[in-house]
Chain A
Amino acid sequence: MIMPLINGLKITLKHLFMKPVTLLYPEERPTPSPNYRGLHALKVSHNNAKCVACYLCPTVCPAKCITVEAGEDENHDKFAARYEIDILRCIFCGYCVEACPVDALKMTDTFELANYKREDFIYTKQALLEKK
């Protein structure tokens, strides 16, 4: 009867002196793992988004949170005239990144996505462009 109690207290005591797993957020900030799936970013190459608006990400997206509209630029090439992710719907599965045939999309370690207005959760192309 007494032994299990002592065993339990032992574990408690051990944890009292261990390094805490929690962080004093926001004073202390975590370093997410390299394969953490945070906010998406559209990769940039030659000052342009690499995205060619192939529509594979909205096709594969299980949450149907990506809206793409393709446009034709002056060279008759395809580009994403509109690229929006509804973060409120996104489940951060990363399928979009996996589906991308031109490696135009990545997931960053940005996890602080709280906002005041619903509209602010719809990330437009401009907001998603990779910041260097």
Chain B
Amino acid sequence: MVTLTIDDKQVTVSKDATIYDAAKAAGIRIPIICHDKKLQPFGGCRMCLVEIEQMKGRQIPACTTPVTEGMIVRTSTDEIIKARKMVLELLLLKHPIDCPVCDAAGDCDLQNLTYEYQVNTNRFQDEKFNWKIDYENPLIERDMNRCVHCGKCARICDEIVSFGAYSFINRGIQARIGTEFDGPLNCEFCGSCVSVCPVGALISRPFKFKARWWSLNKVKSVCSYCGTGCQLTLGVKNNEVMTTIYDENQGFHNGQLCTRGRWGYQFVNSEKRLTTPMIRKNGKLEPASWDEALGLVAKRLGDAKGSPDSLAALVSPRLTNEELFVMKKLFKETLGCDNIDHAGGYSHKALTAGAIESLGYAGSPSVIADIKKTNLLLVIKTDAYETHPVLGFEINLAVKQHGVDIRLLSDKKGKLSKLPNAQTYVHKAGADLLLVNAIAKVILDENLHDAAAAQAIGGFSAWQQSLANCAIDQVAAQCGVDADTIKGLARDYAAAEKALIILPTGMGYPGHGKEMAQAVINLALLTGRVGKEGCGVLILGEKNNSQGAADLAIYPTSGGKEAQAILSGCAAGSIKTLFIAGENPVVSYPNRSQVEKALAAVEFLVVSELFLTETSAKAHVVLPACSFAEKEGTFTSVGGAVQRINPAIKAIGQSRSDFDILSGLFQVITGQPAYANSAAAFLDLAATVPGYAGLTQAGLGDNGAIRTVSGTATFVPVSAAAPSTEAGKFALVTGSALNHCGTLSLYGEGPMLVCPAGYIELSREDAKAVGVKDGETVKVTSATGEVKLAAKVGSRVPKGLVFAPYHFADSSINTITSGNAITWVSLAK
């Protein structure tokens, strides 16, 4: 620790702090333009000049100067104020003073500082720049005339996003921020650059000219797309979510968001939102009153009470914990129906079957903060970046700033493969389980683990036995990764002081289920990595509340039917009433034709949804539900952080939150109210769900709380078969596209502008063999059907493998998949 004096105030800070950090700790504000707490110090703008007595009053930048013992700093002498005024004058010399038409006005660092330092005149004169403004992409407008050369956009894109879309180009007075060969911006469109731009050089096109910053109501909430649990601030005006607002003090991610979080908010106020309940009359959905619709549904559910087998529910893990809790109370406790499931019945298995058996609880033994604390990251599939982009930023930071060694066990390359010193072990599709087992086998054979500690864990010998037949050379041949590489990885993993395994899951990843989770947990247990800081396994639940749905056990627990069985029950006629809350199985569940058949066959289908989706269009009763911006409740994110969402706008039309819908049904069926409000439901939830004990909605505050986990770990044998092959066919793997999450993002404008339709990604060699070029249509045929998709030719996927995202409703990939990790397909032009 170092003690120094800033403006006569003594302050003690750690020795790696800068003067700026020390002043901040002492509550002294030093003006900045180019500095950002997330980025490496830059020292470009010279606004943070301070005087240091020991340096004979020389002016030095506070943001780049480390503190030294006994330093005496002055932050606002006349000389400094004069210098800062000149900095502003020089910046304003080239800056077009077009504040009236600039969207940054009100939230502009340059404007605020000009006002603060009262720079009313300028003693210099010069012509303004006349750079061409980039209107070419749909999301980010780049007006380099307004740029103040702070370099934050280039730095955040490089340091945190690791994309590197920008850099300074040209020299001297011609210097400016440019893109690759000064072409149009073609990046991930996460918008991090827009969020940090201190002026209006980079602005959001979807929000352009919509409202002024000061007229927006800022409501803190949690993103409703993926399971990362990013906190965000919604900018609200006239009952409309206008934009997302950057707040660098929010969450573990310091306000960073991805494409969907930042630009995908439009679904909230979409014109496609359902506004009234609808009942099917004479084959057509007609608007109806809530009383009529709820009465009809309640009667149907009440009638089914005597025969709960004829009833089933599919719930979306996008619902809040409170809503899921009421759902459970209604179906499992009141109606005695255990036919309830979520997320396709398979994508939650890593948590609800794998982790429960292996660890004793349906969660990850690690938290998000462990990513930066570990020494070695083993990521199963590069898709972790696509499914959870902001966790991907954390991984980028861990690797680049904390020197974490990253290893990727994947069937294709990805963005994470490009990180410094990243090693990607590209294996044959479907061989990941075999590889993980082989790594464990190497560690066992070479005695790289703490044998006594591992043997103390239950099931060790049985598990060891199960690996007896695992021959590394044979595995190497089956996986396409050579034996020495596997051994090297195993040795590195075992030798690392701390090691964390990241396992993304989701509807697009049928292979990442129970076995996969157990295999990686076995590996972590073997090396004593469970329950330690910076170690363990992080299972990434796909949706915003996937972890909550797993915690609350929204799946059959006493012999009920799982999602697939529910659908076949519907098709067979044994299930007569199906309640779907927020799921869109027609698009997201495997085997579309069977799902459609099942939904057509079921006698009574109720769907509560935001939109008339492919699923709700088939319903007998459609109940308009509220989005996350209209309700209160909590989401549990990856790693178990329970965070609150806050209502930003009033419900659209007559829509009601699922909490109100389910409580209304509960009231009609039982004659008594379920809960007074969601806070009361949460209290009951905290009392009954392990790990949530002691939590209250109010107590969660802005930052949320991490729910605890406890259980007894045990080794569970996982059998891994050699990956199948089919001669002459391509292995199709599905997954998440970077800009989308589930099917909700299809209603978000931003993601659709960047990635509007499905595609199939294939290698250059395969494209050549099939005879297609990038962008051309390919006919993809599997045993279950065929679909036409645009080809995306690149070097990411290896030969013989094709990848397709699962989100899109038109020519959806589930037309040809049937729930296997790999679908064998043939391609034709």
Contacts and interface: CB of A to CB of B under 8 A. Distances in A.
Interface of A: 52-56, 58-59, 70-72, 76-78, 101-102
Contacts of B211: 55
Given A76-B133, A76-B135, A101 B100 contact: yes
Given A76-B133, A76-B135, A56 B209 contact: no
Contact of B215 (A55, A77, A102): A55
Interface in B87-125: 99-101, 105
B215 A59 contact: yes
A50 B133 CA distance: 22
A56 B102 CA distance: 12
B731 to A, nearest CB: 46
B135 to A, nearest CB: 6
Contacts of B212: 54-55, 59
Given A52-B101, A59-B212, 7 more contacts: A53-B209, A54-B212, A58-B215, A59-B215, A70-B209, A70-B210, A101-B100
B181 interface: no
Contacts of B133: 76
Given A55-B215, A59-B214, A59-B215, A72 B208 contact: yes
A78 B133 CA distance: 14
Q: Kindly state the interface size class of chain B when it binds its partner.
A: 10 to 19
Contacts of A70: 209-210
A56 B208 contact: no
Contacts of B208: 72
Nearest to A56: B100
A52 B36 CA distance: 32
A109 B607 CA distance: 60
Interface in B125-146: 133, 135, 141
Contacts of A77: 101
A97 to B, nearest CB: 15
Contacts of A71: 209
A105 to B, nearest CB: 12
Contact of A78 (B135, B209, B215): B209
Interface string B390-418: 00000000000000000000000000000
A55 B135 CA distance: 23
Interface of B: 99-101, 105, 133, 135, 141, 208-212, 214-215
29 contacts: A52-B100, A52-B101, A53-B101, A53-B209, A54-B99, A54-B100, A54-B101, A54-B105, A54-B212, A55-B211, A55-B212, A55-B215, A56-B100, A58-B215, A59-B212, A59-B214, A59-B215, A70-B209, A70-B210, A71-B209, A72-B208, A72-B209, A76-B141, A77-B101, A78-B101, A78-B209, A101-B99, A101-B100, A102-B100
A49 B245 CA distance: 31
A117 to B, nearest CB: 25
A70 B105 CA distance: 15
Contacts of B209: 53, 70-72, 78
Contacts of A78: 100-101, 209
Contacts of B105: 54
A52 B103 CA distance: 12
B210 to A, nearest CB: 7
A55 B101 CA distance: 9
Contacts of B99: 54, 101
Nearest to A81: B209
Contacts of A53: 101, 209
Contacts of A56: 100
A101 B99 CA distance: 9
Nearest to B208: A72
Contacts of A76: 133, 135, 141
A53 B100 CA distance: 8
Contacts of B101: 52-54, 77-78
Nearest to A70: B209
A74 to B, nearest CB: 11
Contacts of A72: 208-209
Contacts of A59: 212, 214-215
B528 to A, nearest CB: 60
Contacts of A54: 99-101, 105, 212
Contacts of B215: 55, 58-59
B138 to A, nearest CB: 13
A52 B135 CA distance: 19
A91 to B, nearest CB: 20
A75 to B, nearest CB: 10
For the complex of A and B, 7 pairs with smallest distance between CB atoms: A54-B100, A70-B209, A78-B101, A55-B212, A101-B100, A52-B101, A52-B100
Nearest to A51: B100
A72 B209 CA distance: 7
A59 B216 CA distance: 11
A65 B590 CA distance: 54
Nearest to A54: B100
A95 B96 CA distance: 26
Nearest to B209: A70
A101 B101 CA distance: 10
Contacts of B135: 76
B613 to A, nearest CB: 31
A113 to B, nearest CB: 27
A61 B214 CA distance: 14
Nearest to A102: B100
Nearest to B101: A78
Nearest to A55: B212
B115 to A, nearest CB: 14
A88 B214 CA distance: 26
A56 B215 CA distance: 10
B320 to A, nearest CB: 34
A101 B100 CA distance: 7
